[in-house]
């Protein structure tokens, strides 16, 4: 049970932090950061999330090839990390 909780935190909660930051930035009024700064912060968070998602996908594929059962957790991490990138493309 403890191991499953650790995996959930590691592969879902930690990556979700970037997603939450992205949507907090999107929900801020323009007067807080300014239009250009909000866009740059959103771009930075989405790019960091995209690179981390790509790394998680590569690790997941390596784990899948090795036959490790933890590969599914890495794919979940990839999906969670891709949310800000997809949202940036969709909202832009």
| 32-87 tens-digit pLDDT | 888 899 999 999 999 999 999 999 999 999 999 998 888 899 999 999 999 999 99
Phi and psi (nearest 5°) for 69? -75, -15
Residue 1 reports pLDDT greater than 70: no
| 28 secondary structure, DSSP code | S
Q: Which pLDDT score, from 0 to 100, does residue 20 have?
A: 95
Side-chain-facing half-sphere of 54: CA atoms under 13 Å:
6
pLDDT band at 16 (very low <50, low <70, confident <90, very high): very high
Q: How far is CA 29 from the centre of its chain?
A: 23
Residue 2 reports pLDDT greater than 80: no
Structural element, H or E, at residue 77: helix 71-91
């Amino acid at each position: 049970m403890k191991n499953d909780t650790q995996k959930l935190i590691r592969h879902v909660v930690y990556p979700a932090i970037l997603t939450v930051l992205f949507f907090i930035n999107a929900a801020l009024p323009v007067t807080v950061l300014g239009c250009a700064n909000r866009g740059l912060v959103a771009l930075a968070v989405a790019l960091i999330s995209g690179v981390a998602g790509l790394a998680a996908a590569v690790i997941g594929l390596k784990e899948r090839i090795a036959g490790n059962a933890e590969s599914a957790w890495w794919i979940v991490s990839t999906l969670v990390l891709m949310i800000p990138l997809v949202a940036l493309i969709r909202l832009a």
